[in-house]
Homo-oligomer: A and B are copies of this chain.
Amino acid sequence: MSELYKIVVDTKGADKGPAVIIGGVKTALDMHKSLSVLLSGDTEVIRAECERLGVDTSRVEIVEAPEEVTNYDSPAAALFEKPNSSLVIGMTALRDREDLCGFVGAGNTGALIAGSMRFLAGRVRVRPALAAVLPAEAGGFTCLVDTGATVDCDAGTLHHFARLGTDFMREMYGIESPRVGLLSNGAEETKGNKTVKEAHAKIKADGSLNFIGNVEGNKALSGACDVLVCDGFAGNQVLKVTEGTARRMLTDIVKYAKRTGSEEAMKLFGYLMQTYDIASLGGGIILGAVKPVVKAHGACDEKAIVSTLSMVLNMAQSKRIYDENHAE
C-alpha cells in the first residue's frame, strides 16, 4: 500500500457550515488514495455527515472540538479565549504529531495566520505572509506574496517576503532558482512608492535571490517571475482585481451565450473556467509556518475544499521529496 498523508481539516468556521467541508473531504478522499484526514469539530455532527455522504471512514480520524472561532472573533484573542475550538485543537495536533502534514481551514483568516505563527512558527520569528499561487499566462505558476496578511510593510518585510516566496517555490515546485519580481507602478528601477524603492535596493543586494526587477500590474501573472513580492494591501488588489475581472468577463460570456443561443460560447466558457475560476483554484497559503497551512478561498464551496486539500497533499509530497534530496 502506498504511503498515506494525513491532513488536518477544520470543519468549523465556514460560512456554509460543516456539510460543505465534509462534502469536499469525501470527494478529495475518493480522488486521492494517498490522502487521509483528521477532522476537527463536533464528533456527532461529523459522524452523521460522513454516514449520510458515505465517506470512506477508514481514512478519517475525528478529534472532538466543541468551540468555534468565527469571523467576529479577534484573531489573536480567539486563540486564548477558545482553547477548545476546532482551529486550536487542530493546530495543536498538527504541531505535536509527526504523522500530520498540513492544515486546511475555511474560517477566520486572521485567526488561521495567528495560529500558524503561534503553533507552527519556525526557529526564526517572521512576519507572516498569505501567498496565492496562480496559473501564469506563460504556463507554470506565480506565487503572489503577500495577499493580505501584512498590509503595512516596510522595505525589510518586503525583502523577507522575497525570501519566503523563493523558499516556497523551490521546495514545493522544484524551481531551483525562482525569479523574483517586485510589484511596482512602472518597470524602471526609479518607479514605485518610497517603500517599494527601498525594497528594490534591498532585494537587489541580496545575492541569494534571483531578482529580475520591477513588474507592473499588467504583467503580474504573465509568467515573467515565479515570485511576485508586494505588501498585503497591493497584493490583495492584484488577487481580487484579477478575480473580479475574470468573473465579470465569464458572466458576460454566459449572458452572450444565453442571448444568442450559441453552444460554442458555452463551450468556450467551460474552457476558460479551467484557468479563470480563481475562487476554486485552491487557497491562500501561509508562508513562514513549518508545515503547510492553507485557507480555502472566498465563499468556500465543496470544489474549493477539494482543490485546497489537493494542494496541501501536493505540497506535503513535494516537501518530503525536497527534504529527502536535501537531507544532510
Contacts and interface: CB of A to CB of B under 8 A. Distances in A.
Interface of A: 137, 148, 151-152, 183-185, 192-194, 196, 216-222, 231-234, 236-249, 251-253, 256, 260, 262, 264-265, 268, 271-272, 275-276
13 contacts: A137-B251, A148-B185, A183-B237, A185-B232, A192-B233, A217-B237, A219-B244, A220-B237, A220-B244, A241-B242, A262-B268, A264-B265, A268-B268
B233 A220 contact: no
Copies in the complex: 2
A111 to B, nearest CB: 15
B245 A151 contact: no
B244 A246 contact: no
A192 B275 CA distance: 29
Contacts of A196: 233
A221 to B, nearest CB: 7
Contacts of A241: 217-218, 220, 237-238, 241-242, 245
Contacts of A237: 183, 185, 217, 220, 234, 237-238, 241
A244 B242 CA distance: 9
